[in-house]
Structure 1
């Protein structure tokens, strides 16, 4: 039952995530009429942070619901094999399906909307960019969840600002997505979801970066744990 609840939460949150990004842009650019003015960008960034707080709250009340396959993958690598199979075989496909459904409804509702994130540099630089951005945000997320004490508000604030900063850094290059499911939704709508560029830049590179971040984090935190254990044994 818990697994079914997670799948429903993943689908709903993935659906809502692609919609939230579009609605924020439409509100700032069309409703407020600010376009790409500095004030418009500031308002968009502020709303994006609020939006990430909302989704962090949803993840908390759904007990683990997620809209990003990389979040699920990072947790699955650290868990048991059955959890890994469930995450890779069920949760990630459901997140992709939620994103595809959300984007399709967006295009039907707002035909004039953009075409989503696209690669503006060559494939190798794009893969490196998405990989580095993903490595950074996964490392930050692991540190916040496992090593850094603090309140839900403070951790979410650090995570949200970090994601926003990394997104801005990569927005002109690859879109700064760090979310394969969201990109897949737009790529499927454009019909280029099975191209080499999409698979390498928006799937393989982020997945490899996630694996590397998790393994690197384990290596970095292990000495501190062993050191604490050694200190405790000496005191005993």
Structure 2
């Protein structure tokens, strides 16, 4: 593969990397391959929302055949699988607050944030549209809404707390100080399951604005959407602040590799 050369290429910016690692970073810095990374984010978020929202839709149609435990466990397993499958291509963020958190930690380039967020939102909307086309739109089925016993404010606080935990775990597992490699997928997926098991009845345990925005766009129901935007962004901001306190500035080689992936594998020589 012929790699793009430009000021600030990986040879100068990342001198601590080995030759093969530099090749990976070169590949990621080649903007000609950006569409592959965006496709990975689109497909990963599509599968996540298809599963997370689909569980609610099918459960409503079958009068509880899916069950709450299965409905909150499935998204965690999808997160685990998608990170293992596409993490090396794009970093498998699947979530706007994760992308922005990595950018604040200087592990991910700000110039890529808009593209990633757009791909995530598009994937979420496409998943919701698929569910609507197959099963129809059935009230709040597939939406993330506060439980009937809880207020929007309570749900927003819980979403903030859950997202704080999720982003803290992701940043910690990705850091050079606590690098666990592929096991980071189990850390993120495990938290999604645990959060859903105890807090799914409160807020739906979204922790992901894209996951909530996609179904809202398709159904046209925005009544509680602010909960799933404000809560996760506040929680993510607190997690980034905690990461600075725990590990100082980001930007180490391991964290960058985790946030960015290795880039698309191209061996054709073009």
**Shorter-chain-normalised TM-score: which range?**
0.7 to 0.9
Structure 1 residue 128: Cα displacement: 0.8
Q: CA contact under 8 A between 2:144 and 2:206: conserved in structure 1?
A: yes
Q: Distance in 1 between matches of 2:58 and 2:146?
A: 25
Q: Which has the higher contact order (CA 8 A, sep 6+)?
A: 2
Structure 1 residue 187: Cα displacement: 1.1
Residue 143 (structure 1) aligns with: 172
Residue 2 (structure 1) aligns with: 33
1:170 aligns with 2:196: no
Residue 127 of structure 2 is aligned with which of 94, 102, 119?
A: 102
Structure 2: runs of 5 or more not aligned? 1-31, 250-270
Structure 1 residue 63: Cα displacement: 3.5
CA RMSD of aligned residues (A): 2.9
* Residue correspondence of structure 1 range 146-161 to structure 2 within 5 A: 146=175, 147-152=177-182, 154-161=183-190
Q: Distance in 1 between matches of 2:72 and 2:142?
A: 20
Structure 1 residue 203: Cα displacement: 0.9
Structure 1 residue 58: Cα displacement: 2.5
Q: After superposition, what is the alpha-carbon deviation per residue over 1:33-81, rounded to whole angstroms, capped at 9, x for unaligned?
A: 9553xxx94x66665554232111123242324321122111111228x
User: Which structure features the higher share of helix residues?
Assistant: 1
Structure 1 residue 210: Cα displacement: 0.8
Q: CA contact under 8 A between 1:59 and 1:66: conserved in structure 2?
A: no
Q: Distance in 1 between matches of 2:120 and 2:106?
A: 19
More displaced 10-residue stretch of structure 1: 180-189 or 112-121: 112-121
Q: Distance in 2 between matches of 1:170 and 1:14?
A: 22
Structure 1: runs of 5 or more not aligned? 224-236
Q: CA contact under 8 A between 1:117 and 1:175: conserved in structure 2?
A: yes
Q: Distance in 1 between matches of 2:153 and 2:76?
A: 30
Q: Distance in 1 between matches of 2:187 and 2:60?
A: 27
Residue 46 (structure 2) aligns with: 15
User: Number of aligned pairs?
Assistant: 212
Residue 90 (structure 1) aligns with: 115
Residue 132 (structure 1) aligns with: 161
Normalising by structure 1, report the TM-score: 0.77
Q: Distance in 1 between matches of 2:75 and 2:43?
A: 19
